[in-house]
Amino acid sequence: MREIILDTETTGLDHSSGDRIVEIACVELFNRFPTNRSFHAYINPERPMAPDAEKVHGLTDLFLADKPRFAEHVEAFLNFVGDATLVIHNASFDVGFLNAELARTGRELLRFERVVDTLALARRKHPGAPNSLDALCARYGIDNSNRVKHGALLDAELLAEVYIELTEGRQSGLDFEVAGAVDGRSLDVVYRAAPQRAVPLAPLLSVEEREGHAAFIRTLGDKAIWRDYLEPRGALIEAPRREAAMA
């Protein structure tokens, strides 16, 4: 399953009044593991930066003046995102800005059905608690000491870690090892087999206990559901089945 963690920075808080995106960042996850693939772009918003917004992310009009406009990034952005699920913190804000930009370029708008809002997830999991990105990093022990100001790429990377914690998405053990791939691309992620003991542990049951268990199973009949779930271990359990088949 491919998911894209997405974050934006903007000139202000209201796209309907003309505020624009100045930075987009996307981080790719595959089966809840980072693939080390990302998309990142600074954007000339073609309008002045609001002073309060500049205090938040530190991006100035001078810095953005020579950056490409959104229309010059849109193809690369849409190609990177593809049809993956979008994971966004406070999704209505970012999707509103992205759809305003996509509308200006005549592109199809993003559907909310493909979006996971981590703010909504956090509020359900931690009702009444602070659920900002900083608060969630603190709750899950994620190092955000470099987050002096908001930045879309750093925030997307932090949100990827938060999302994995929120959804408990990493499996603790896997019985195979295979390199991941999406659309024919190799991914820098490997599913590693759970470690195996060189010498199996000695059985905890005595011979008498195992014989007693086999005798009990024998009393349940051939159609007992236990027979479907117990892994045969030697003649003590297998013998009754063979005897029944021969009768």
The sign of the CA dihedral 98, 103, 107, 108 is positive
3-class DSSP assignment, residue 98: helix
Q: Where in the chain is the domain with CATH 3.30.420.10?
A: 2-171
**Nearest alpha carbon to residue 77 among 125, 31, 110, 119:** 110
CATH code at 2-171: 3.30.420.10
Q: Which of 57, 73, 89, 150 is catalytic?
A: 150
Q: Token pair of 147, please?
A: 């987050």
Could you tell me where the DSSP H helices lie in 82-169?
A: 91-104, 118-125, 133-140, 152-167
Q: What is the DSSP track for 15-58?
A: GGGT--EEEEEEEEEETTEEEEEEEEEE---SSPPPHHHHHHH-
The CA distance from 247 to 236, in Å, is 18
Per-residue pLDDT of the chain (247 residues; tens, 9 = 90+): 999 999 999 999 999 999 999 999 999 999 999 999 999 999 999 999 999 999 999 999 999 999 999 999 999 999 999 999 999 999 999 999 999 999 999 999 999 999 999 999 999 999 999 999 999 999 999 988 877 667 899 899 999 999 999 998 554 344 334 344 555 554 444 444 445 555 666 666 778 877 887 777 777 766 666 565 554 444 444 444 444 444 4
Give Cβ neighbours of residue 78 (< 8 Å, ≥ 6 apart): 107
3-class DSSP assignment, residue 185: strand
Under 8 Å between Cβ of 49 and 59:
yes
Q: Please tell me the predicted confidence (pLDDT) of residue 54.
A: 93
Q: Please tell me the predicted confidence (pLDDT) of residue 214.
A: 74
126 is catalytic: no
Q: Which residues of 97-113 are buried (b: 16+ CB within 10 A; e: fewer)?
A: bbbbbbeeeebeebeee
3-class DSSP assignment, residue 209: helix
Q: Please tell me the predicted confidence (pLDDT) of residue 216.
A: 77
